[in-house]
Every structure is written in C-alpha cells, then in structure tokens.
Structure 1
C-alpha cells in the first residue's frame, strides 16, 4: 500500500514537471497541460488511489496557500486602498457567490441552496498570480496590482466563510438570524485568535536565529492557526490570514537575512508544488466527475456551465465599470477613485481569473454532498475558461489600453537602490575614517557599492553608465551570462585541481547564484 502511494506521488511530481515545461514552451497557462496530464494518468489503474479525501485538501492546502498570500500582503499600500479593495473583496465576492447560487438554482431547481452556495463560494475568490505577473512584466501602474492582490487576500476569507456556512447548512437547518450570528462568531473569533497567535509566533521568531528552525516554524504556523480555530468553531481561514498578515508586516524585523533568503525560496517551491498538484488532482478526478454527471444531458451541462461562467465574468465587469465607480461616494478618508479610470477598471474586470483556491474549495466539498461531481465540474470549467480566455488575452488588452508601458515602478526601485548604496558608502567612509576598517578592505567595498550606485544612476539618467555604455539590453544579458559562466567554470577547475574544497566550491557557486538573481531583478 505504501509503495502504491509513493508511486502515485512520484507520478504526480513527474506530471508537474512535464506540464510546466509544456506551458513554458507553448506560452499557455500551466493549468491546462497539468489537468490534461492528470486526465491521461487517470486511465492508469494505480493512479486511481490518488483521489484525495476532501478533508485532506481543506486542512492541508488551504492553510498553506492563504497563509503565504497573507504574509506577502503590502500593508501600507493595502491600507491606502482599503476602500476599493473592500468594495471588490466584500461586495463583489458576496454578489458573485449569491449570483452563482441563483444561476444554478434557476437552471437546476433540484440542486439545494447549500450546495449551490458552496459552488458560489468556491468560484467567487480570484487568483491574481497570473494577472499580476503579466502586469509587473509589462510595467502596469502598481496601484492596479495592489488592489488585485489585496482583493484576492480578503475575498479568500469572505468566500471561505460563506463556504463554511454552506457546509453547516448541509448538516443542519440554518435560519437567516442564526446565519448572521454564526458569521459574527466565526469572523470575530477567527481574527482575534489569529492576531494573538501572530503575536506569540512573532515573539518566538525573534528568539530563533537558525534558518532551518525558522522554516520549520513558518511551516507549522498555518496549521496552528487553522486547525484549532476550526475545532473551536471559528474561521480557520480568517485566523490563518490574520496570523500571516501580522507576521508579514514584521518579517524584516523578526528574521535575519539568511532566514529570509532560504525561507522565501522554500515557500516559493512549496506553493508551486501545492498549486500544480491541485490541477493534476483535478485531472485525476475528471473521469469520476464525468461519471457522476452522466445523468445530465450534454446540453444541460453546457447551458449550466455557460450560465455560471457568465455570472462570474459579466458580473465582475459590471461591478468594476458601474458599482465600483459608485463606491467613490462611500464615507471615510481614502484615495480618490478618480485615479482609477475607465481603462483601469476594465482591466480589473478582465483580470478576475480563478485558480488554486477555487479548486481546493471545490475538491473539499464533502463526498456525502448531493451533486458534488456537478459542482466540481462547474468549478473546473470556470477555472480553465478564465485562465485560458482571460490570462492569455490580458497582455494584449493592457497594450491596447496603453497600460503596459509605465516606468514608475522601475524608477521608484532605482531611487531606492541609489539611496541604499549611498547610505552604505557613507557608513563605509565613517568606519574607514575611524580606522575601524583598513583601507584595502574599504576600497574593495567602495568599488562594489559605487558600481551599484552607477547602475541606479544610469536608470535615472543621472550618469552615462560608462561601464555598460554602447551595449543594448540583449548584449548586456549575453555579456553577463558569459562572465558568470566563466566564473563558474573557474571555480569548478579550482576544485578539480584540488586547490579548493567542496565546501568552498559550493559557497562560491552560491554567491554567484545570488548575484545572478540580484541582477535579474535589477531595473534595466
């Protein structure tokens, strides 16, 4: 039995590698080949054991995914855009869940409202990863990215709270008054518990200096937030989000640089594995899902899928173009809605792709729920249709609207790099003048930071960038690649000749890798 599960795990990992390679080669969203590979693998008898219990997905995938999203939230920008984010996250999420519930009930009256609401809650939250990665690459105004990321974080909490209410209604009657009281209890309890836990974990992080121990602590934190909150009847998702947000706003003060570097790399890989495996698992369940909806005609399935998809996509466009505009009159101090023009609102409306969270929620619908296969089928249609239809057309839309050429973010980063380099040089001169650093060492570091300063000034047109004058961007990338290759080859030769140890070799290669990563993130 254990060998069978290991074979399944390895097969899923291989499909993830192949699927992402196909996505890179073709330019299509990775979800498409991952799902198709999962469908193909479902015909292998051993892979039938890969059907994951709903509770497993709910208790494993969701805490990790929402914790990471909350941890990476930008607090200042989110606070500044709290009103537009709230209008999208609270208003649109609730409206979408209710619209989808009504659409399903209209087409299929036999579907109970708790199951229909569970589907609405599943497809309501957006996944901004695809959209924001395209926007950053094209230089879209940063405020759009901030609003979409903030919306995604909050709408996860709203949608999953509604999903919890739907699950409760599946097992016991829920009146409107009882539903309101239940929401107040789960929301208040989840947020309070999450903040308290965040404070406790923050104190522990401040006392731990070992990077490995920091990673272990960060890995168990989402589960310590989610599972006890769910056990006591609170919202585990809100508790996890509150904990992640609290710690994320204090990450730099709690963690040492080495811990941040290794921790970020670990979490990037972990989230990649979780999201990719979800699409593979969906593919593995497709045959069972199709078997479960075989009592419906193809026409009925197509009609229901189109109606649900239309409710999701059209409602978002209408909300951003009409309702979002009306929200400027809400009371309170907030950034002017005039800065979110018609073009920006159209992009926000079209950037509502669904992804891993929707799949995780849909797959976590209990096996005992009626019409579960139908709900998973409809959720999969929404995810694949929005990824294939919206993600692939977002970049052309941005260019057509003239929102893909902003250099504000590049200039802002260059200003920050110049300021940090100048601060380092100033401190270096102080240490050298006090004879706390010898002149030879000071000169080495002086040249390093002056080079970084020249690069920042070159971006800001404050110098000619003599070290790179006359070279275009493509030539610069080629030159840097050649120099990095020469350095790595020299390190390998020194090790092969017995002049350095394996430890030294790994250390030098690690430094070269870090430098290459830094240059890749430098403004060009």
Structure 2
C-alpha cells in the first residue's frame, strides 16, 4: 500500500539522518559527505521500496525553503566587500562550466541533445558550500574565502536555474536567439522585482507579529509566496526567493524579537538539514532503478562520462580561479578586490567547489520530456556529487595545512574580543543607570560583579588561562541576582547588542561572530516578547 511505502521512506530518512549525525561527530567529517554515502547506500537495501520522485515535487517542495534559508543568513557587509569575485564566479564560472559540461556530455553521449546537455550542465554547475565552509571554519581559514564560497553559492543557484529553465523550454520548442534574450530578461528582472515586493510586504507584516510560532509560520510561507507566483508567470522563482530572503535577512533590525530569533533560527537550521538529508535518501532510493538500465548505455561509457564530467567540473573551476586575473582587469574594482587573495587562497576556493543538495534537486527536476536519457543524466549528476563531496572535501584540511592557511585560534580570538567590548559597554551603561538613580545600589552592585566576573573570564580566555574558578564564582553571583532586576538586565543586553553591531559595521568582527554572540544575548534578554512598534 502507498501508506506503507511512505512510512518506510520516512523511516529510512530518519535512520540516515541519525546515523549521519552520530558518525559526523565521531569522524569529524561534514554531515554532507556522510549523507551522500549513507543515502546512496540506502538505495541498495532490498527491503526499501523503489522511489520515483516527480520533478515538480522536488522543484516546489525542496528548492524554495533551501534557497530562502541560504539567502536569509547571508552576511551583507562581507558580501558587498567581495562582490566582484562573487559575481565573476557566480555568473562567469557558472556559464563556462555549464557550456563545458554540456559539450563533454554531448560528445560522449550523442543521443543526449544539446538542450538536455545544457540543462544537465546547469544542474551540476552550482556549488554547495556546506562541506567546504564547515572544514574552513573548523580550521580557522581566512574568512574572505568562506564569504566568497557562500556568496557565490547563493547567486550561482539563480544563474544556473535560469539557464536550466531556458534549456528545458528549448526541449519542446524551437528557440531563437532573440526569444532567448527576451526570456532571460523576463526571468531575471521579473524574478528580482517580484522578490523585492514580497520582501517589503513580509517585512512589514512581521513587524506586527510578536508570537514566535506565528513568526515561524510566516517565514515558512515566505519562500513559497515568492517562488510559486513568480514561476507561474514566467519569471524566476529562484531569484524571487533569493531576493526576498536576502532583503528580509539583511533588514531584519527591529523586526524579530529575541524569542522569535532563537526559535526561528533553530527551526530553519533543522528544516534545511532535514530537506537536504531527504534529498540524498530519495536520490539513493530512486537511483537503484537507474543502475539496472543506465539509459541504454554500457557501464563503461557511463563510468567514462562520470569521470570526464567530474574532471571538467573540478578542472574548469581551478583553472578559472588561478587564471582569472586578466578578466578582473575588465571589471570595475576587479584588481582591488584581488588584493590580499594570493594564488594559495584562489587555489583553495577553486578546490572548494563541491556539489550537493541543489545539484540533486535540479537534476531530479529534469522533466520527463528529456526521454530515456533522464535517468542517465540523474545518475551522472549523483556521481558528480559523490566525486566532488567524497573526493574533494576530505582533502581540503590537508591542502589548507600544506598551504599555511590554518589559523585555529582566529575565530576564538575574534569572539573573545567582541565579548570584551560588549561587556565593557554594559558596564558603562550600568554606571550611567546608577548615576541617574534608575537602579538601586544593591542591584547595580550585583550586576557589576556579574559583568566583571564575565569580563575576567574573557581575559582568561584571551590569555589562555584556566577559567573554572571564575565560572563557579559567576554562577554564585547569578544566584544572588535580585528578582527586581529584569529591566536593568534588558538595558545591559541592549548595550552589548549595540556595541556588537558597531563592531560588525566597522569591520572588527565577522558575521559568524555577530550571530554567535547575538544568540547568546537573545538567551539573556528578559524582553523575549515585545510590543509591536507603532
């Protein structure tokens, strides 16, 4: 029965997710690598049913929330600073990779037409930075590399899917150059414009919602409100979703209360992880059918095509990164953007272009009009994901260490410096409240002791000294906190948050540090539910 099959599939997804999480911690590997291996291994379990995922289910069910999540958590200041390398990678490299892969597939598999080959090239051209950035951040690599990889991945999704939409349309109709240019303009401009409208409207609506559950419901509906109408009217649902997510995420000041930020952030992290995990498992269950009859081709030809496409995907990216300096001269601010990014950084960025959930989602959304080759192309896409994730990601730590780009204490030092500045700002604000007699001396003294102990602990961290006694003393001070101190605590948290934003605007700390300490302040903020602003 269909219900039994559905239950077994859900159970398989849950088992794979739990196994991946458990093994990732033990093996110190990114979750994405284990999800690929376990998801594909699940497809060979005889008890599990074969699955055929309709393309529209993948396109509408998985892509909107994944794209919205990535866009919402984009670091705006860093993205602006690295705009030139991000855009050259997202548009230039994506286009070159698409054409190179399409030419390779068409040469090796002549039965695959040019339109289908271009659609496949668009599927494997966007990168998934999850595995690469997990390794880079754990080893303390320069933050510019992480920013470029994340920013590129966000924009190249839209570029790749625009090419994908054009190629899919060309499968069933005659497609002239003029019509293609007009459709690109309609897809891009229409998607961005509609995404901005959705972003503005949703942001205004969310300002008046104080209930965290309602905030989550609105945030979950937002990517579909952006994607579905835009796609229905011929614009890019991907660009609309990315634009709306980026607009709301970078202009959320005063929109979300601390409780909503905490619950919403956790909800979206879990949802994105589950969706990516489900994609890997569903692909593993569907790929079993492709393996029995790989598009009528011999296994030798399929293996050769997989190796060739993977080599093109990796090689084109590395060559682009190492040789794009002349191209940078043609872009305003291009040479200035490359200052401080030497060949070692460019090599790591080039080698860090793994493929992941987005590639799988696009490949699985290939329409049935492609014909018998659809299964073969989905299989090739899965093999490219497997080669880039399992083959490249484990080599990144070795490459970083070999090139001397490992800075394990950088993130901790940046975080401690931000905490020290925030605590000093809170102490200054407490002194102002005591001087204006807005707080009684006993309450002020209790908070002063707590903040000074925290400040001392931060100094111990910076000096690499033991902090256990300080933590015990801090807990004792917290237990002596007067019950009437709610408003004072809110003022101190507000002062720390303002100092944190100032440090970020001035470039003293990065977006990861901003979010990390911001979450800690949300936990401390007593004003978890505020009145909506008039």
Q: Is the 8 A contact 1:229 1:236 kept in 2?
A: yes
Give distance in 2, aligned partners of 1:322 and 1:459: 42
How does 1:194-233 map onto structure 2 within 5 Å? Answer: 194-233=195-234
Q: 1:414 aligns with which of 407, 413, 416?
A: 416
In the alignment, structure 1 residue 135 sits paired with structure 2 residue 140: no
Give the aligned partner of residue 44 of structure 1. Answer: 47
TM-score in terms of structure 2 length: 0.84
Evaluate the alpha carbon distance shift between residue 4 and residue 294 of structure 1 in structure 2; reply closer, same or farther with a 3 A threshold: closer
Query: How far off its partner does 1:445 sit?
Result: 2.2
Q: Cα 1:30–1:518, aligned 2, differ >3 Å: closer, same or farther?
A: farther
Q: Paired residue for 1:333?
A: 333
Aligned-residue offset at 1:411: 3.2
**Paired position in structure 2 for 1:437:** 439
Q: Which has the larger displacement, 295-304 or 181-190?
A: 295-304
Match of 1:183 in 2: 184
The separation in 1 between residues aligned to 2:184 and 2:243, in whole angstroms, is: 16
Aligned residues: 476
Deviation at 1:406, TM superposition (A): 5.9
Aligned partners of 1:135 and 1:145 also within 8 Å: yes
CA contact (8 A) 1:23 1:33 kept: no
Deviation at 1:330, TM superposition (A): 2.8
Residue 21 of structure 1 and its aligned partner are, at CA, apart by 2.5
CA deviations over 1:109-167 (Å, ceiling 9, x no partner): 22111111111011100011111111111111111111111111110110011111111
Alignment-derived partner of residue 491 in structure 1:
none
How many Å apart are 1:372 and its aligned residue?
0.5
Q: CA deviation at 1:108?
A: 1.2
Q: CA separation of 1:378/1:217 partners in 2, compared to 1, >3 Å: closer, same or farther?
A: same
Cα shift at 1:450 = 1.8
Q: Would the alpha carbon gap of residues 466 and 131 (structure 1) be closer, same or farther in structure 2, given more than 3 Å must change?
A: closer
Deviations 1:340-374 (Å, cap 9, x if unpaired)?
10100110111010000000111111133221011
Find out whether 1:60 has 2:61 as its counterpart. Answer: yes
| Runs of 5+ consecutive residues of structure 1 not aligned to the other structure | 470-475, 485-513, 520-524
Aligned counterparts, 1:260-339, within 5 A: 260-293=261-294, 295-323=296-324, 325-333=325-333, 335-339=336-340
Superposed, 1:350-369 pairs within 5 Å as 350-369=351-370
CA distance in 2, matches of 1:338, 1:426: 39
**Greater CA deviation, 18-27 or 148-157?**
18-27
Does structure 2 retain, via aligned residues, the 8 Å contact 1:19–1:37? no
1: CA distance, partners of 2:399 / 2:129 = 16
- The structural deviation recorded for 1:407 is 4.3
Deviations 1:453-486 (A, max 9, x none): 223334445xx867459xxxxxx9xx99xx99xx
Work out the CA distance in 2 between the residues paired with 1:230 and 1:292: 33
Deviations 1:294-349 (A, max 9, x none): 621121111111111111000001000002x2233134236441311010011011
- Give 2:39's aligned residue: 35
TM-superposed deviation, 1:428 = 1.5
- Give, in whole Å, the separation in 2 of the partners of 1:455 and 1:174: 66
* RMSD, aligned α-carbons: 2.6
Partner of 1:510: none
| 1:403 and 2:405 matched | yes
Gaps of 5+ in 2: 476-515, 522-534
Once the two structures are overlaid, the 10-residue window that deviates more, 217-226 or 105-114, is 105-114
TM-score normalised by structure 1 residue count: 0.86
1:34–1:276 Cα contact (<8 Å) kept: no
Of residues 445-454 and 137-146 in structure 1, the stretch that sits farther from structure 2 once superposed is: 445-454
**Structure 1 residues 129 and 107, CA, compared in 2 at 3 Å: closer, same or farther?**
same
Residue in 2 that maps onto 1:159: 160
Q: CA deviation at 1:218?
A: 0.5
Query: Structure 1 pair 414/26, CA: closer, same or farther in 2 (3 Å)?
Result: closer
Query: Aligned residue for 2:379?
Result: 377
Shift of 1:27: 4.6
